[in-house]
Amino acid sequence: MLTTIFTVIPIFCVIGAGYGVGRFDLLGAGASSTLNRYVVYLALPALLFEVMAKTKLVALWQPGFIAAFGIGAFGVFAATLAGRVWSGRPVADAAIDGLNAGYANAGFVGLPLCEAIFGRASLPFATIATVLTVCVLFGVALIIVESGLQSEARPHQVAFKVIGNLARNPLLIAPVFGLAWSAAGLTLGGPLETFVRLLAGSTTPCALVALGLFLAIRRDVPGAKAPPIAFTALKLVGQPALTGLAAIALGLPHALMAIAVVIAALPTGTGPFMVAEYYGREAVVTSKTILMTTALSAVTVTILICFLHIG
């Protein structure tokens, strides 16, 4: 349990630091949005590029693991998206809600947690889960958000606008470029690697500080939204349960099933918050979901780990 708690506590500390400087207005009124733009345009693209550029395509081909984890993540995302659209939520906002429920913090929390619990042999699978989450699921959500924001009646006009906007979106350009870099057999080294690593390393702390700033200066907006507890339950219970069922149905070895389920049970990452801020959508529920899932995951993930060891 201490491993899980010690992995989660620093997240709260950084969010708290952002909240503190926000309450005392040390960085100015627009600091949250400015810092978030830095993450979106520089830090996160560098991280996405680094992940893809350093990942060998052969190592990514683990069909059973990909299918189990993908069914859990995309299943919860799709179900949440459909349910929110059916309830009258705009498509763009429903896609962000889908990320709230299905976007695991696979990179910042998942990688060190898997190494501590399962050993270094689990890191390739944690990397696969990270790529599926921060590149594939994130990319699909961006496409849906862009599509939902278009107002043209003709499908081809919508398609042209969406493609044009996505082609200029750094969060999609960076992983595609990284994938091409890896496919070409190129490696990162020297000053280029240092440059990318410096920017990539600032992603998580800056995103968490931006979240803290947001919580310090924003209040609940009028109009009832789905309570964060609903997304929290889907994230911490629904996604790992669906992932586990998929892993059992696919006959995945117990060790791989455990890795997939534990990563699926991780709290919501900062990706949905950055998307909400980037597109100017309401982010109060998203920020609260991140906080709630992070707080409760120290307990739920620990219980899950004990259960998997017993099984």
The answer, yes or no, to whether residue 87 has pLDDT greater than 60, is: yes
The answer, yes or no, to whether residue 13 has pLDDT greater than 50, is: yes
Sole residue written with tokens 């100015």: 28
| Confidence band for 104, pLDDT divided at 50, 70 and 90 | very high
Q: Are 225 and 283 in contact (CB under 8 A)?
A: no
Residue 99: give its domain's CATH number. Answer: 1.20.1530.20
Residue 205 to residue 301: CA distance in whole angstroms: 23
Q: Which of 16, 161, 169, 148 is nearest to 89 (CA)?
A: 148
The answer, yes or no, to whether residue 29 has pLDDT greater than 80, is: no
**Number of independent structural domains in the chain:** 1
**Which residues lie closer than 8 Å to 25 by C-beta, 6 or more apart?**
none
Domain hosting 32: range is: 2-310
Task: Provide DSSP, 50-96.
Answer: HHHHTS-HHHH--HHHHHHHHHHHHHHHHHHHHHHHHTT--HHHHHH
Q: What pLDDT sits at residue 223?
A: 45
Highest mean pLDDT among 124-133, 157-166, 184-193, 247-256: 247-256
AA letter at 258: A
